[in-house]
Each structure stands twice: as C-alpha cells, then as structure tokens.
Structure 1
C-alpha cells in the first residue's frame, strides 16, 4: 500500500444537479437533503471521488462538493467497507483499489496484479472482499478473493464468462438456492488491458449471470439470454426476491440497439428481458430497487424509468445524461448533468447515500 495522503478540495457553488425521481406519476417529488459519496470527471479531464451535500428545492437537488480526492484514472464502483471507510475501484481495465476515509480524508491505494485487470465492482462476505476482474492473457472472467482488511489476494476463481461486472451477495433461499451466494453479471464483452476499453470483437459475446459459492467458487446456477448481443452489467435485488439487471445492447446498428430491451428480471423461474424497457438507445447506466420494483437510468436517451417487479413500466422522466442512482425506501436520487451550468461535473455511473 502507498502512504496515506489527504487531498481536499472545497467548492461552495452547486456544480451538479440531480432530480429526485417520483416513484409514480402521482407521487410528490421528495426534496429531502442527502449526503452522497460520488465519483466524477472535472472539466479539465481529471477524475475525483468525494462527498456531495445535496439540498432539495422544488423537486430538484443542487449539490455542493464538500470533499474531493484526486484519482489516477477514471473510477467506477463505490462500496462501503466499515465505519467511515469506503472502497473505490478503477473503471475497467482498472489497475487500482482505493480505501477512502470520508471523515479524515485519508487514503491508501493498492495496485492491481499485472496479469489481470479490474472491472470496477466488488462485494463483501465475511472476511473476504471479492473483485470482478479479467485475465489479461486469456481474456476470461475471474473473481479475485481478497482479505477484506488488507486487500491481499487469496485466490482467483473463474466466473465462466467474459467481462464480469457487478456482483451481489444474496441470502440463503434467494433464487431457490439453499445457501448464501454471490451473483455475478458476466458482461460478455472481450477486452484487453493494452487496448483500453476497445472491444476486441463483437462476437462471440459471453454474457450470463452466475451464482457462485462464496466459500469455494463453485457454480450453483447460471442463466443466459437468447440474444447474445445483450451485455448484462448492473444489478439490484428487490426485497421480494427478484433481481433486476441493467443491460447494454451491442447490436450492429443504432436501430437494432434502440429496439433492444435494457432491463432483465431474474427470479426462481429464470431470466427474461422486459420488452417495455426498449426504445432508449440500448443503454442502461445504473439500477436501484424500490418498494414498487426498479428504477434504471438511461444515459444515452436522457431519461430514467421505473418498473414494477413484473416488468411493467410505471413512470418515465427526462434527465440529461441520467447516470448515478441511489435509493432509500421510496425516495430515489438520480444523478444527471445540469443544463444550468456551462461546465458541470460529469458524474460516473454510481453514487452512495452516506
């Protein structure tokens, strides 16, 4: 680990705008204040992670940056570790993990092993930290098993697909599985660290959702879709047991991508796409679960949509470059670019309530 350092930037002006998303057409917009851990890109191209204070007024949340830490490259996944400590992971093909204390501002960074690159997401179970990664030489997806306190590598397991992205830890009984398990979304896109995020080829994609034992890495179940051009990316678990999966379409034409659904649902009966989620340019950036179902941000379509657990579209809302989502009960915070500012911060896909 590198020595801890403090890098604070205080900005009093509200540079980021977010819309509080109503959870039905009739619901009032909640203007409650929020404190969020978020990642973003500055107008000069530099990347940061830090704390945003959100003040609500008339259905919108204006955000002020209260603490920021410089990052070497673009960040992606954010996860709570313990107390005031959070984990930040580089976007794929990533080569660093950052521990951040949001109270003291202290950080420590671990560089990735050269034979694998990080894919931007992680999960905790017991004393283990799991990170989704790609084997550089073979291009196969792997799950790195690490010590949750030191991040030291303990084991590497195959995810039985390419480009594993987000993962969840689900309890015994979830999806009909009789033990606690890791649920991993294999995005299916072949990439190589030396070529950045360039796709090596469109096909064959190897996208799937895999349930794995957190103790041994044994595959407990695996689900795929008939459309091989749909990349399974981000996931959220509903209290009722259904898992919502945000997808990104990689069809050969813009028309085909726009016609593709961007939401899939997984339950004990299997994995299926949601037809009503089509028509948003084939791209869902993030997803959260709500009491009614799921909300997805459709970045390229400048919108967000709410669906019930059966996949029925309940409500949609315009939001410029919709991206990060966070939820607490029936309240959802949706990150977007502010048209009021000429050079706003560009939020990444994810943020967390803190």
Structure 2
C-alpha cells in the first residue's frame, strides 16, 4: 500500500509537485487548481495552476473575485465577485475560455458564492436584496448555451454568503445575518440585531426545508463558509462581530435532520485566531476538517472520529483550503503568496515549487477542477 511518506518521496523525485484530486468526468486531463488572485501591482485575476504551481491561464477581472463554483462535470466554472459584487464570470475548463458574464439585476448585489445543480444546468447565486433588507438566491438556467436568470428565492435570512448543493439534493445556505447596502460599501448596518442561520432549501422550488440559528446570546456570530463531507455532514465556520477578545465557538457541525447546530470552540483563544475564520474544508474521506484563520495566520484541524484537535500550524495569511488527493491532506493557499499541501497526521508540508504559485496573492477560496 502506498503511504503518504512513500508518495511524498516519490513525488519529490519527480519534481516536488502536489497530487491534486483527480478530475472525474473530464477525460484524462491533469487537474487544475482554480482561484482568484492578485498580483503585486493590485491587478485582479482568475487563475489556474497545475500540480507544480505553474500557470495554465490567468484572466484579468474588473474587480476582486471570491468564490469559485465548479460544474459537476468539471467542464466549466463560475467565478463570483467579492461582495457586494456586480459580476459572475463563466469559464470553460480546462482551456479557461470565458463563456459569459452575468450581471446583477437592479436592486441586487452578488454576495461572493454560487453553486451548480447536480445536472449542471442551473446556477444558484447568493445575493443581497438591499432595499428589501433580505437575502435571496438567484436562479439561473441554461438556455441555448447561456445562463439566463429565471427567478429568485428567499434565502431564509439576511446576508447569505456561501451556498452548496448537499448530497441529498437540497441547497445549504450560510445566511451570515449581516445587513449591508451598496451605498455604504461593506459597512455592517445591524450588528445589534443581526441573527445568522444555516438554512436548507429545496433545490427545485426554493421552499425552506429547515433553518437553524444560534442562541440569542451569540447572535453576533456570523455563519459564513461551508464544506460538506462525503456522507453529508455540514461544517460551517463563523466570524464574530462582537469583541475580538471574547471567547466564542467558531465552528458549526450539522446534518439534515439534526435538531440544532453543534457549536465548537477552537483549541486556542481569540488572541491567536481573532474570532475570524475564513475557509473550511473536509478531507477526501470526511474524517479530518481544516479551517483557516487568516487574520491570525493560523490553520486548525479537527478529527471527526475522535472529536479531537490536532496541533494548529502557522501559515502567513493562509485562507484558501481544499482537500488534496490523499486522506488527511489539505491544500492551503496564502494571501501573501504560495500554495502548499499539509498533513495534520504527520505534520508534513509539500509546497508547490513553481515561482508563479509563490508570487501570486491568492484569494480566500480555491477548488480543484
């Protein structure tokens, strides 16, 4: 059996590249790591790199982007503007050809994330209905090769951020609870009354299947980002809008049918993570969970079976997370530059060697497609 250490040694002999998760349903082509990035001159890009960190393509963007939604066949992706955003770009894979740019309807702003339906013919976008003071999910359908807006659904809360398709066919929405208005930029307008929740929607009708919030005394916890394990366990990481020194739980675990959210505290205090988690990812088999605290340059690891925390690691401005191709391994990207693979079981690091990967300033999220 090939162990991780055997794999690392073998890979190093071949040039120190990472083993990105193989692509399913996209032929035998090599997988690509996809992420928004900035260069040293303040330019904004959608970039793809190979397992060595070398660039495959890089497209300039009108503004900073945030989340990347991958088509189930991995033949295209949607790149979503950072909130409050005005564009979603669609690209073909692996060539990176731009297919379409979606624009926000009047009275709406994109909120950073999107998700495709199981058949890839529908795109769901998180949006802010700023005059209606509510969150919505934009529903875009494929017609004659183009995505066309068909309708929108209430997101079940305020400030929806990430949306994912659950293995059971429902949509999972992280309603962050924070009210904003484009005339006020990213100002948070309701911190005294905010209330986040995790909401499940029927992906065909938009009907709310369940909604789960936090206790009243923790109402300033904002539910932001999501990851779903192979068996359907939802993990969400939070950002606290209260005092930075107050100790609060920052990780949520939940499965459809559970009566309430399970909230967990990190193994370190807010002096290390500053009550702000940026990304979350399950590993390949759903036993390990990684979460990033970019403001504290810390990465945390939770073992689901033992309900125990591994030793956290320091990684400068590390935020982007994605499962690597072996269990208990994660890809980590940095806003300061660089992408690496890390294993919390043995503490081994495997940086991408190409200078391009270390030169670009990677945004908060990435996927392998």
TM-score (normalizing by structure 1): 0.81
Query: Could you tell me how far apart the structure 2 residues matched to 1:346 and 1:230 are?
Result: 28
Shift of 1:106: 2.3
**Unpaired segments ≥5 residues, structure 2:** 21-31, 339-354
Q: How many residues align?
A: 311
Query: Could you tell me how far apart the structure 2 residues matched to 1:42 and 1:198 are?
Result: 26
Q: 1:230 to 1:276 in 2, by over 3 A?
A: same
Shift of 1:83: 4.7
> What residue in structure 2 maps to residue 52 of structure 1?
49
Preserved contact between residue 90 and residue 119 of structure 1 (Cα < 8 Å) = yes
Preserved contact between residue 296 and residue 306 of structure 1 (Cα < 8 Å) = yes
Preserved contact between residue 175 and residue 197 of structure 2 (Cα < 8 Å) = yes
> What residue in structure 1 maps to residue 302 of structure 2?
307
Query: Could you tell me how far apart the structure 1 residues matched to 2:54 and 2:225 are?
Result: 27
SS at match of 1:194: helix
Deviations 1:179-232 (A, max 9, x none): x31111101111112222121231211210011111111111110111111110
Preserved contact between residue 208 and residue 224 of structure 1 (Cα < 8 Å) = yes
> What residue in structure 2 maps to residue 68 of structure 1?
58
| 1:1-354 to 2 correspondences below 5 Å | 32-33=17-18, 34=20, 35-55=32-52, 63-81=53-71, 82-107=73-98, 108-125=100-117, 126=119, 127-148=121-142, 149-172=145-168, 180-226=169-215, 227-251=218-242, 253-256=243-246, 259-267=247-255, 268-277=258-267, 279=269, 280-290=273-283, 291=285, 292-309=287-304, 311-327=307-323, 328-330=325-327, 331-336=329-334, 337-338=336-337, 344-354=359-369
Query: Could you tell me how far apart the structure 1 residues matched to 2:97 and 2:133 are?
Result: 34
Q: 1:104 to 1:54 in 2, by over 3 A?
A: closer
Deviations 1:252-306 (A, max 9, x none): x2212xx223211113242021123552111111111123231001101111111
Preserved contact between residue 51 and residue 102 of structure 1 (Cα < 8 Å) = no
Preserved contact between residue 337 and residue 361 of structure 2 (Cα < 8 Å) = no
Query: Could you tell me how far apart the structure 1 residues matched to 2:96 and 2:266 are?
Result: 43
C-alpha RMSD over aligned residues: 2.4
Query: Could you tell me how far apart the structure 2 residues matched to 1:97 and 1:338 are?
Result: 24
Query: Could you tell me how far apart the structure 2 residues matched to 1:329 and 1:75 are?
Result: 28
Preserved contact between residue 337 and residue 362 of structure 2 (Cα < 8 Å) = no
Shift of 1:32: 4.5
Q: 1:103 to 1:241 in 2, by over 3 A?
A: closer
**Unpaired segments ≥5 residues, structure 1:** 1-22, 56-62, 173-179
Query: Could you tell me how far apart the structure 2 residues matched to 1:206 and 1:344 are?
Result: 39
Preserved contact between residue 238 and residue 293 of structure 1 (Cα < 8 Å) = no
Shift of 1:64: 3.2
Deviations 1:57-104 (A, max 9, x none): xxxxxx333321000111011022245321101111111110112444
Name the structure with the higher strand share: 1
Query: Could you tell me how far apart the structure 1 residues matched to 2:359 and 2:191 are?
Result: 33
Shift of 1:169: 1.4
